[in-house]
Amino acid sequence: MDPIQRSAKIRDALYVRGLKFKDIDEHFRLPTGTAWRTMREPNPKGEAALCEVLDMAPTALWPERYDADGERLNPQPLSNYKSLPTMSERRRKVRAA
């Protein structure tokens, strides 16, 4: 799944539950911003917290971060740290199409 679509799907699922990323950080005693950053870069604690709240397996949300046996890749491939395009970059791309 496209990372931007995945982020929107997770954000929507949290919204339906009446939660924000900040609530996840507070409930699981994670440093501020961990749940939100987990959307863009690997973080085992953030992944576990989001998966618990959403009642989903981490391999379903982030298959590129896990191997075929469901074990977390260690170290993570560099491609998992690639920056996503900004909103303005995405808008330019849509306008150009």
| Domains identified in the chain and CATH numbers | 3-96 (1.10.260)
* pLDDT tens-digit map of 40-80: 899 999 999 999 999 999 999 999 999 989 999 999 988 88
16 pLDDT higher than 90: yes
What global pTM score does this model have?
0.82
CB 84 within 8 A of CB 4: yes
Token output for 97: 């199409």
